[in-house]
Each structure stands twice: as C-alpha cells, then as structure tokens.
Chain A
Amino acid sequence: MIIDILSWSCLLGGGLLGVVGGIGIHRFPDFYSRQHATGITDTLCAMLILLGLGLQAGMSFATFKLALIFMFLFLTSPTASHALANAAMHGGLKPKLDSATGKDES
C-alpha cells in the first residue's frame, strides 16, 4: 500500500515534469534555451518514472533492467545534449542572450 502510494506519486510527478518540459520547449525563445527544457524530461522526469516503475516491479530482474536503463540514460543523455549544442554552435547558430548583461554576442 505504502509502496503503491510512493510509486504512483513518482510516476505522476514524472509525468507532470514531462508535460512541464513540453510546455518549456514551446515557450522558450531559441534553440539553446529550449535545450534546458528538454533537460528536465531527460533527467528528473525519466528518473522519477523509472523509480516508480521499479517500485512497482519490486525486487526482480525487471528492476535491475530498469536500473540499467537509468544508468545508460545518465551516461548518454548529457553526451547527446552536448553533441547537439556543439553542432549548433559550429553550424553558426547564435544564441539569443540577455541584452541587460552588456556582453556582446560574438
């Protein structure tokens, strides 16, 4: 019962964060800031959903496989984000920066 409550709050929290990340992708002005919104779905959203599923599965081989998915996400998602941002920068896409700082955009 307690495990059910915990796992469902994890699943719902993860789902909610996924929706928030989706809203963020539409709200933010340019490519680079949109990447921060996808960062939410990459990290805490995925972690919470995997944790919720793991609590549902209990101590089993399925839980171990979920832990593996978590580990590989943990290692690969930042690499993929970095590759995207790096490619965009090399492709000449200028980020929209906050004008109040006085820094130039070069």
Chain B
Amino acid sequence: MKAFSYGVFLFVFWLLLSGHFEPLLLGLGLTSVVLTIFLAKRMNVIDHESYPVHLSSQFPAFFVYISREIVSANIDVAKRIMKFRCKSISPQLIEIPVPQKTDMGRVIYANAITLTPGTVSVELTKDKIIVHALTREAADDLSAGSMAKAIPDQVVEK
C-alpha cells in the first residue's frame, strides 16, 4: 500500500519535472517508476523515515510556524548586523532538553533550530541538544521551549 502511494507520488513528480505527455515518454517514465519501486522495495527503504507520510497532517501547521519564526529571526539578526555603534551580540552556548519521542522528531527539532538564524544546533544526543545562540534573548526563547511543541512527532506502530 505504501509502495503504491509512493509510486503515484513518483509518477506525478516525473510528469511535473518532464512536462512531456507523449505515449512513448509516458511509458518510459512509468517503466522507470516501476523499476525504482521494485529496487526500493527490495532494499527495504520505503519506511517511516524515508517516506514520512504519517507526519503529513501535522506538517502544514509546522511549516506556517517555522516560516513565521524564520522571518522574525531573520529581521532580528539583520538588525544586529547593521548595528554599527555598539556591541550587539552576546553569544551563548546552552543545552536544551529534547522532549520528542522519535528520532524523526528529534532531527526535525534540531533542524528547525538551525533553520532559524540566531541559533545553531551544535550537537544532538538522545535527550539534549547543545545550541550556539547569537544572543541571550534567542537562547532564552529557545529554553522556554515553545518551539519544541510545534515539532511534528508521532510514533508509528509497526
């Protein structure tokens, strides 16, 4: 079932990338999709990590949240760069807990931290992330943990 939806997804992807609708090219595209599915199935790589459909319901809200965070963080860092008169940054190295239960959730959390300018995740372990923050405010915001709640995190039943 998962392989089938993956195949449909791949074929639509192929159509949109190529833009060809002649029967011969459609057939060739379909053949390559089927071959890809066959190989992926044999290699056993169509799982919840490479093809995380179970997160798709949570993703739009997360995307809106992270976009807003990115824009506000960008404006903040840009302002600090352009502040020539006084010292505008106060770099911090902090450790924050990772409440996510799955590997996927942890990785998304670490990447979301890095994606917002002003904070970079330096090291990720099972239960904590070491973060380098450009300012004390950014570090405090992160420690407050509002971002952790927005991360898509869902345990998949095997």
User: Which B residues are CB-close (under 8 A) to A23?
Assistant: 81-82
**Interface 1/0 per residue, A77-94 and B, CB below 8 Å:** 111011001100100000
User: Which A residues are CB-close (under 8 A) to B122?
Assistant: 32, 82, 85-86, 89
Closest to B107 in A: A79
**A27→B91 contact, CB < 8 A:** no
Q: Which of B24-32, B43-51, B112-120 contacts A (4 or more CB under 8 A)?
A: B112-120
**A39→B81 contact, CB < 8 A:** no
Q: Is the interface of A mostly helix, strand, loop or mixed?
A: helix
* A-B CB pair tally, cutoff 8 Å: 111
Q: Is B111's CB within 8 Å of the partner chain A?
A: yes
**A97→B111 contact, CB < 8 A:** no
User: Which B residues are CB-close (under 8 A) to A100?
Assistant: 90
User: Which A residues are CB-close (under 8 A) to B19?
Assistant: 61
**Interface 1/0 per residue, A30-48 and B, CB below 8 Å:** 1011011101101110010
Q: A20-B81, A43-B70, A95-B132 are in contact. Are A82 and B90 (CB under 8 A)?
A: no
**B77→A85 contact, CB < 8 A:** no
**A86→B77 contact, CB < 8 A:** no
How long is the Cα–Cα vector from A61 to B70 in the complex, in angstroms? 27
- List 7 A–B pairs whose Cβ atoms lie within 8 Å, in order of A's numbering: A17-B74, A35-B120, A65-B17, A81-B114, A95-B91, A95-B93, A101-B90
